[in-house]
């Protein structure tokens, strides 16, 4: 199991790209959650990013979250590119708008700056970024790519998405339009007008599509893990002062649920048994690919999802208690403190 690496006085995540995806990964960018930030990481044969801490316990926490997101990205590469629906495209563009408005809320800048930004954005949408060039469909595509392409790529990387060219181009066009909201609201704020509070309501929430595994089907007649997680995400986003679930946490819980569903060949929560969860634990232990602490964490994540399902059902599901509470977590051998010290020649 990889661990944080101490480089000089700061801990880093530095791991090899798995052999089966190293060719697809080379040169791509993934966004990893590190503390309270999202960090863009360009991949080679390795993934390397500073964990921005000198504290070992904090480094372990940040490493676990970032590494889980990285493993999700490996799975995405293995699945290949996907297509975005119209709703998905609008939702992702809305997340770009939300990010800008959140970052700029306290200090939006000057009105003159936003007049200039709006002008440059409009020129790009019309293919007029070069005042000496005659606008054509080709210049429009080129100008949109230069102006909004990196925003689209950053948003796709933040969501761990690999999409086909048409979906990417559609997202660029949608972001180009959505940036009008950023300029308009930021200009108003720069002049002292913070009355606009409904800008984001027109954008739908992005709902990640669950990965399907061979032999795993969504059975009718019972609640699925995906539905439980979707509902928990919805509940945490409800209300004026809500604190939504982070995308990294959502990926972590979906990963555990998907792996368990793959093992038992069923996504239904209501038919889960402690024996099935224990069998899953032993299959991972016997396979020997994951550390005991990683296996324990996956079981705890699955236990949490089941607990959400019980709470959503107001106790009508598993009234005798969470079946995962009966499954003992695997133990691991303690690490001598001297072994935690990194030495360099």
pLDDT digits (tens, 9 = 90+) for 169-208: 999 999 999 999 999 999 999 999 999 989 999 999 998 7
| 345 is a domain residue | no
> What's the pLDDT at 80?
79
Whether 97 has a pLDDT exceeding 90, the answer reads yes
Chosen domain end from 79, 94, 109: 79
Render pLDDT for 15-65 as a digit per residue (tens, 0 to 9). 999 888 888 889 888 888 898 888 889 999 999 999 999 999 999 999 988
Looking at residue 298, which CATH number applies to its domain?
1.10.150
Cα–Cα distance for residue pair 4/63, rounded to 1 Å: 6
Both 179 and 281 in one domain: the answer is no
| 238 is a domain residue | yes
Both 73 and 94 in one domain: the answer is no
Instruction: Tell me the angle at which helices 111-126 and 137-158 cross, rounded to the nearest 10 degrees.
Output: 120
E strand spans, the chain: 5-7, 10-16, 29-34, 37-42, 46-50
Q: Contact at 8 Å (CB) between 262 and 306? A: no
Both 96 and 193 in one domain: the answer is yes
> What's the pLDDT at 15?
92
| 59 is a domain residue | yes
Whether 345 has a pLDDT exceeding 50, the answer reads no
Both 191 and 126 in one domain: the answer is yes
Both 104 and 193 in one domain: the answer is yes
Both 166 and 261 in one domain: the answer is no
Closest CA to 25 of 154, 162, 127, 150: 162
Both 172 and 238 in one domain: the answer is no
Both 28 and 109 in one domain: the answer is no
| 98 is a domain residue | yes
Render pLDDT for 271-310 as a digit per residue (tens, 0 to 9). 899 999 999 999 999 988 888 989 999 999 999 999 999 8
| 194 is a domain residue | yes
pTM: 0.56
Both 169 and 263 in one domain: the answer is no
Instruction: Tell me the angle at which helices 165-190 and 111-126 cross, rounded to the nearest 10 degrees.
Output: 150
| Average confidence score pLDDT of the chain | 87
| 63 is a domain residue | yes
| 333 is a domain residue | no
| 341 is a domain residue | no
Both 102 and 151 in one domain: the answer is yes
> What's the pLDDT at 143?
94
Both 185 and 232 in one domain: the answer is no
Chosen domain end from 57, 79, 101: 79
Task: Determine the structural domain holding residue 68 and report its residue range.
Answer: 5-79
Cα–Cα distance for residue pair 327/323, rounded to 1 Å: 8
Both 231 and 294 in one domain: the answer is yes
Domain count, the chain: 3
């Amino acid at each position: 199991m990889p661990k944080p690496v101490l480089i000089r006085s700061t801990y880093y995540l530095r791991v090899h790209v798995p052999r089966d995806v190293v060719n697809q990964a080379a040169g791509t960018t993934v966004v990893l959650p590190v503390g309270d930030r999202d960090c863009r990481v360009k991949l080679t044969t390795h993934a390397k990013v500073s964990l921005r801490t000198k504290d070992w316990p904090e480094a372990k926490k940040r490493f676990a979250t970032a590494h889980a997101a990285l493993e999700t990205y490996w799975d995405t590469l293995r699945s290949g590119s996907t297509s975005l629906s119209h709703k998905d495209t609008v939702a992702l563009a809305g997340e770009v708008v939300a990010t800008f408005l959140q970052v700029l809320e306290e200090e939006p800048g000057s009105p003159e700056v936003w007049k200039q930004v709006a002008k440059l954005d409009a020129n790009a949408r019309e293919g007029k970024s070069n005042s000496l060039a005659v606008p054509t469909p080709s210049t429009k595509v080129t100008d949109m790519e230069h102006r909004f392409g990196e925003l689209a790529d950053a948003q796709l990387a933040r969501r761990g998405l690999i999409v086909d060219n048409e979906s990417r181009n559609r997202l660029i066009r949608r972001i180009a339009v959505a940036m009008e909201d950023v300029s308009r609201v930021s200009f108003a704020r720069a002049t002292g007008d913070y009355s606009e509070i409904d800008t984001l309501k027109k954008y739908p929430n992005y709902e990640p599509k669950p990965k399907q595994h061979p032999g795993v089907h969504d059975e009718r007649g019972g609640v699925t893990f995906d539905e439980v997680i979707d509902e928990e995400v919805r509940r945490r986003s409800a209300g004026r002062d809500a604190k939504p679930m982070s995308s990294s946490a959502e990926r972590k819980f979906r990963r555990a649920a998907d792996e368990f569903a793959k093992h038992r060949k069923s996504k239904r929560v209501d038919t889960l048994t402690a024996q099935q969860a224990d069998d899953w634990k032993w299959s991972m232990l016997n396979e020997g690919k994951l550390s005991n602490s990683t296996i324990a964490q996956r079981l705890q994540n699955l236990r949490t999802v089941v607990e959400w399902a019980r709470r959503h059902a107001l106790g009508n599901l598993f009234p005798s208690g969470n079946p995962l509470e009966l499954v003992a977590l695997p133990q691991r051998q303690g690490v001598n403190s001297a072994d935690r010290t990194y030495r360099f020649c």
